[in-house]
Amino acid sequence: MDASERRPAMADPAPPRATLRARDAFAITIGIVVGAGIFRTPSLVAGASSSEVMLLLAWVAGGALSIVGALCYAELATTYPQAGGDYAYLRRAFGPRMAFLFAWARMAVIQTGSIALLCFIVGDYLAQLFDLGAGASALVAAAAVIALSAINWVGTRQSAVVQTWLTITEIAGVLLIVVAGLAFAPTDIAPVPGSGGDSAIGLVLVFVLLTYGGWNEAVYITAEVRDARRWMPRVLLLSLIAIAALYVLVNLAYLRVLGLGGMAEHNAVAAEVMGRVFGPSGAALMSAIVVAAALTSANATLITGARSVYAVGRDFPALGVIGRWDARSGAPRAAILVQGVLALALVVLGAFARDGFEVAVEYTAPVFWLFFLLVGIALFVLRRRDPDRPRPFRVPLYPALPLLFCATSAYLLYASLAYTGRGALVGVVVLAIGGLLLLRLRPSSIRPEETSP
């Protein structure tokens, strides 16, 4: 065994402290899920659905499947309430090398790519609202990355306050769409019926569950939530129930104004609804709502993404500089800076070559669902390997619900590969580069909290 592998892990000079309230975790979870996707994916879901009933059932099913996954995560989060979320569970179940691959995927593909994409949405819509001219979108996106990273660098409390107000603004905007479509739509609007063709179930689920994606990000702040063992199951479940209800209502509003065929024809379904109900001013208001939604998700992604970067820095001595927790700010400042620099680099590249929303899905989806599947398997591994550890929350109907979660993740992994192109291959290549890095990196030994109850 290499000497560096025998060396005990260094204790954190300033470990994470429980400074977040349950409502902060609730705001982060809702904020990261209810992002720009609900303004874009309903058009794609409508195009792959055979009827309005099919479309609505897909959104209900997506919420139910997400809740099953949340029950699995609730057990892991309350049993192992350490910083790092999925990273910590994969490390315990499969070792530090598999966990490093996951952290690499988040840092190089999933989180930084999401931050850059969301900030580009901010830039695109602000450039339209204020007629900033050609090239301004990338500059606004870069400014958004810098501003949000700075807020997170200042401190966890400050970023949580910003997140709470952004989430309130975002939810108010989505509710405005619901009210506009269901209560104020003109009576002479004629919704366009669907084509009545066959449903592409796999494709529908890919886009529906993509729109629900991000609920698991709450576990990355478990170590910072007060009384986490009590509150994290409630945060996960109540957040998803609220999100599922909101998604069904907003799709009912889309259908009321546009119909299934109209939804499939318009990529910007929310803007189309607001424009038909309120005229040109409605479209401008919609742009402001999308900006708020994108900023909300970007800020939440910055908060949770930095925690996994921090976690891998603790476990690999060569990356120790990003594994430091700043006691004064209550935040992993070095990890925040690294994540911000990577997101800025992607914004610069995106300014020259951007292929849009669907390419981003291709790039991230297969890698995302692969590690989701592995986390589901980790639940079984840790139940068997660590049977005497106190589990404040246990998945009901075990093993049926965890098996359903694993089966869903495996199917979505297959579907994301079956329905994507070269973007998926690029994501796999980036993951393989992380495997090559492991040839040079050596993990620390088991951390002290991994042997404590």
Residue 218 — very low, low, confident or very high, per pLDDT cuts 50/70/90?
A: confident
Q: Is 324 a member of any domain? A: no
Q: Is 310 a member of any domain? A: no
Q: Is 65 a member of any domain? A: yes
CB atoms within 10 A of CB 429: 9
Is residue 166 within 8 Å of residue 295, measured between CB atoms? yes
User: What is the CA angle 287-292-297, rounded to 5?
Assistant: 125
436-442 long-range contacts, Cβ below 8 Å, gap at least 24? 437/100, 437/104, 438/97, 438/100, 438/101, 440/318, 441/100, 441/316, 441/318, 441/319, 442/2, 442/4, 442/5, 442/316, 442/317, 442/318
Mean per-residue pLDDT over the chain, rounded: 80
Q: What is the mean predicted confidence (pLDDT) over 331-356?
A: 75
The top-scoring range by mean pLDDT among 10-19, 150-159, 379-388 is: 379-388
- Separation CA 62–CA 255 (nearest Å): 18
3-state SS class at 180: helix
Return the higher-pLDDT residue of 369 and 428.
369
Is residue 12 within 8 Å of residue 149, measured between CB atoms? no
Q: Is 14 a member of any domain? A: no
Is residue 205 within 8 Å of residue 62, measured between CB atoms? yes
* CATH number (domain holding residue 71): 1.20.1740.10
Q: How many residues does the chain have?
A: 453
pLDDT at 415: 79
Q: Is 67 a member of any domain? A: yes
Return the higher-pLDDT residue of 137 and 49.
49
Q: Residue 325: what residue type?
A: W
Q: Among 155, 161, 215, which Cα is nearest to 21's?
A: 161
pLDDT at 293: 84
Is residue 443 pLDDT above 70, yes or no?
no
Q: At what angle do helices 280-315 and 22-33 cross, to 10 degrees?
A: 120
pLDDT at 63: 93
Total number of domains in the chain:
1
Q: Is 261 a member of any domain? A: yes
Give residue 16's Cα distance to chain centre. Answer: 22
Joined tokens for residue 378 = 């980790």
Joined tokens for residue 317 = 């001595």
Q: Is 152 a member of any domain? A: no
Q: Is 398 a member of any domain? A: yes
The top-scoring range by mean pLDDT among 27-31, 321-325, 360-364, 394-398 is: 394-398
* Helix (H), strand (E) at residue 280: helix 280-315
Is residue 31 within 8 Å of residue 172, measured between CB atoms? no
Which tens digit of pLDDT belongs to each residue from 266-306? 777 888 888 888 888 887 888 888 888 888 888 888 887 78
Is residue 411 pLDDT above 60, yes or no?
yes
Q: Which domain holds residue 217?
A: 20-109+158-279+358-442
Which tens digit of pLDDT belongs to each residue from 54-87? 899 999 999 999 999 999 999 998 898 876 678 8
